[in-house]
Amino acid sequence: MQLSSATYDLVANINLLSDTYEIVSGGDDTISEMKGLNSERTQKVISQTISESQQKYVADMLDPTAMLERLKDKDSYSFAYSVYDKNGEIRTKNMTVFVTDRRLERVCFIRSDVTDVLEAERKTKEDLEKALAEAKKANRVKSDFLSSMSHDIRTPMNAIVGMTTLALANLNDPEKIEDYLHKISVSSQHLLSLINDILDMSQIEQSKIHLNHQAIRIGEIIDHISSIMISQAENAGVDLQIDTGKFEHEGFYGDALRIKQILINLLSNAIKFTVEGGKVLFRTEELNAKEEKRVRYRFTIQDTGIGMTEEFMSHLFEPFIRSDRVTKVEGTGLGLSITKGLVDLMGGEIHVSSKLQKGTKFEIELEFEQIEPLKGESHEKTAEIEEEDLTGCHFLLVEDNEINSEIRGELLQMRGATFTVKTDGLQAVNEFKQAKPGTYDAIFMDIQMPVMNGYEATREIRRSDHPEARSMIILAMTANAFAEDVQASIEAGMNGHIAKPVDMKLLYNTISFLLKKRNKRK
């Protein structure tokens, strides 16, 4: 038998007939003798190194008569016990007793220190138990979230279904029909916001959100947000104060949609959680940038609302968490998680302070690549494109959903346009190739379709030898609404991207702009 002293701290041969021992390797700090009477050594070990509570147990395990009885039908047995080392610290030992010669009653003691092993096992067990507890908590929180979401989604759905039923029952009452349709529209927008929050959170958790890189002016961002939030504040009876200083640098590159999403999330919360008659401050100021050729802004949203407890603030940005104090407020409870995720994605900072019944203050600092103004460049804001009459325009509408194509077709007809519908990408490609130049003014292309998807169809159109293959306006109209989907549309050769459900004002503005731009080139 070959043993390593690095593995075992004691190896001893014992002759039970003669009551003698010989230490082969290792030993004990307090006993220097390497051979002698086994009974004397056993007594010293028990009295000098083992705690009183375990002395009787160890004495029994090393008693020669009991030892032989245990080894009658097997070659070895093991037991663990604790000892005090020379520093007075407790160590855990594992002793194995082997039979070496049953006839001569000879055995071998092999002892190892298992303190570190047991500590590692204990820590592993604790870590596993902690992970299990966290997993159970996460599952419970997500279950609670799904329960809340089921309620939150069903609320606008019930309104949509109920108001539709009432509208059908009152077709001869225009005033009621108008009221029902307004409520259906409001509920639809709320349902869409719930779905968008869930999708955004999923994208952030999976690190799949990609930020757009576009030229933006800070003034336009503030004006757009202000126009949205002023009416919301007025409806809630809240005084919204907008404080904007002068900016040394107006232009920068960033993702306008995501910046507005951050600020609208925080402003919406501030208004929702501020009682009627309260105040909300929205301040924007330029700071010194931390790097050259960059611009840094601080956005402050401060309210006089209900505030938050310190305990809730410690979980403020966690997904699926909603305060019990605000259960009656509609929403997913994901807004702040999304906000934090987007701020982190932009490399920014977010700070929050709050006191119960005193209000809450958020400060967000974001830094962007600066746009250097060209000499003589005007800083005036661009005028939105006015919605135009589309009379005389003929569009190729590529959509595999019959209801969607019917809705979009009728909305285009309301502007005087005509259209041809194809239900998959391959049909669209064949239709375009066979059409005479001038037949179509633009193509509205769905993405997820059978036979050939919208990206493939667009590439086929651009590669074709049709005279308008490269000049034809192709707009993606799809439920694929993330930044990477916009980029994929552009890479496929499309001129723009409009997410479903389609905002018809945006559609009219976009197509009018593209038609004007194309006509100027002719």
Confidence check: pLDDT of 270 > 80: yes
Q: Is the domain of 48 the same as that of 97? A: yes
Q: What pLDDT, on the 0 to 100 scale, is given for residue 323? A: 56
CA–CA separation, 463 and 441 (whole Å): 19
Q: Is the domain of 180 the same as that of 245? A: no
The interaxial angle of helices 335-345 and 174-205, nearest 10 deg, is: 50
Q: Is the domain of 61 the same as that of 193? A: no
Q: What pLDDT, on the 0 to 100 scale, is given for residue 5? A: 42
CA–CA separation, 402 and 485 (whole Å): 23
Which stretch of 443-452, 459-468, 485-494 has the lowest confidence by average pLDDT?
485-494
Q: Is the domain of 136 the same as that of 243? A: no
Q: Quick check: is 383 in a domain?
A: no
> Is residue 6 very low, low, confident or very high in pLDDT (cuts 50, 70, 90)?
very low
Q: Are 305 and 275 in contact (CB under 8 A)?
A: yes
pLDDT in tens, 83-101: 887 788 888 899 999 999 9
- Residue 234: helix, strand or coil by DSSP? helix
Give residues with Cβ within 8 angstroms of 489, minimum separation 6: 447, 454, 455, 458, 476, 478, 496, 497
Confidence check: pLDDT of 283 > 80: yes
Q: Is the domain of 219 the same as that of 364? A: yes
Give residues with Cβ within 8 angstroms of 429, minimum separation 6: 452, 457, 460, 461, 464
Which stretch of 465-469, 472-476, 478-482, 508-512 has the lowest confidence by average pLDDT?
478-482
Q: Comparing 86 with 343, which gets the higher pLDDT?
A: 343
CATH number at residue 306: 3.30.565.10
pLDDT in tens, 130-182: 888 888 877 776 666 666 566 567 667 777 888 888 889 899 999 999 988 88
**Of 113, 141, 161, the domain-final residue:** 113
Q: Is the domain of 109 the same as that of 126? A: no
For the segment 473-497, the average pLDDT, to the nearest whole number, is 82
**Of 167, 182, 205, the domain-final residue:** 205
> Is residue 2 very low, low, confident or very high in pLDDT (cuts 50, 70, 90)?
very low
Report DSSP state, residue 9. S
CATH number at residue 157: 1.10.287.130
Give residues with Cβ within 8 angstroms of 518, minimum separation 6: 471, 473
Q: Is the domain of 358 the same as that of 246? A: yes
Q: What pLDDT, on the 0 to 100 scale, is given for residue 58? A: 94
Q: Quick check: is 290 in a domain?
A: yes
Q: Quick check: is 277 in a domain?
A: yes
Among 444, 258, 239, which Cα is nearest to 340's?
258
Confidence check: pLDDT of 259 > 60: yes
Q: Comparing 522 with 75, which gets the higher pLDDT?
A: 75
Radius of gyration in angstroms for the set of CA atoms belonging to the chain, rounded to a whole number: 38
Amino acid at 300: T
> Is residue 374 very low, low, confident or very high in pLDDT (cuts 50, 70, 90)?
very low
CA–CA separation, 27 and 109 (whole Å): 11
Confidence check: pLDDT of 376 > 60: no
Total tally of structural domains belonging to the chain = 4
Q: Comparing 330 with 37, which gets the higher pLDDT?
A: 37
Q: Is the domain of 262 the same as that of 364? A: yes
Q: Quick check: is 386 in a domain?
A: no
The interaxial angle of helices 174-205 and 115-169, nearest 10 deg, is: 160
Give residues with Cβ within 8 angstroms of 36, minimum separation 6: 20, 21
> Is residue 470 very low, low, confident or very high in pLDDT (cuts 50, 70, 90)?
very high
Among 304, 283, 308, which Cα is nearest to 365's?
283
Q: Is the domain of 366 the same as that of 278? A: yes
CA–CA separation, 405 and 413 (whole Å): 12
CATH number at residue 88: 3.30.450
The rounded percent of the chain whose pLDDT value lies above 70 is 85
Backbone angles phi, psi at 100, to 5 degrees: -105, -30
Confidence check: pLDDT of 384 > 50: no
Q: Comparing 424 with 375, which gets the higher pLDDT?
A: 424
CA–CA separation, 484 and 62 (whole Å): 72
pLDDT in tens, 20-64: 999 998 888 778 889 999 999 999 989 888 888 899 999 999 999
Q: Quick check: is 378 in a domain?
A: no
Which stretch of 58-67, 83-92, 103-112, 462-471 has the lowest confidence by average pLDDT?
83-92
Q: What pLDDT, on the 0 to 100 scale, is given for residue 448? A: 87
Confidence check: pLDDT of 110 > 90: yes
The interaxial angle of helices 483-492 and 454-463, nearest 10 deg, is: 20
Mean of all residue pLDDT scores within the chain = 83
For the segment 4-15, the average pLDDT, to the nearest whole number, is 78
Q: What pLDDT, on the 0 to 100 scale, is given for residue 385? A: 41
For the segment 223-233, the average pLDDT, to the nearest whole number, is 81
Which range, 131-145, 230-244, 379-393, 453-467, is most confident? 453-467
CATH number at residue 451: 3.40.50.2300
∠ CA 312-313-316, nearest 5°, is: 90
Q: Which domain holds residue 60?
A: 10-113
> 151 - beta bridge partners?
none
Q: What pLDDT, on the 0 to 100 scale, is given for residue 237? A: 93
Backbone angles phi, psi at 30, to 5 degrees: -95, -5
Looking up tokens 């203050």 gives: 361
Q: What pLDDT, on the 0 to 100 scale, is given for residue 373? A: 58
Q: What pLDDT, on the 0 to 100 scale, is given for residue 433? A: 96
pLDDT in tens, 199-210: 665 555 545 566
Residue 98 CA, chain-centre distance (Å), reads 58
Amino acid at 212: N
Confidence check: pLDDT of 404 > 90: no
Which stretch of 33-47, 255-269, 414-428, 476-490 has the lowest confidence by average pLDDT?
476-490
Element (H, E) at 47: helix 38-49
Q: Is the domain of 223 the same as that of 193? A: no
**Of 159, 176, 205, the domain-final residue:** 205
Q: Quick check: is 2 in a domain?
A: no
Q: Quick check: is 387 in a domain?
A: no
Q: What pLDDT, on the 0 to 100 scale, is given for residue 194? A: 67
Q: Is the domain of 424 the same as that of 499? A: yes
Amino acid at 159: A
Q: Quick check: is 86 in a domain?
A: yes
Which stretch of 132-136, 213-217, 307-311, 478-482 has the lowest confidence by average pLDDT?
478-482
Over 151-199, what HEC string results?
HHHHHHHHHHHHHHHHHHHCCCCHHHHHHHHHHHHHHHHHHHHHHHHHH
Q: Is the domain of 168 the same as that of 256? A: no
DSSP secondary structure letters along 281-297: EEEEEEE--SSTTEEEE
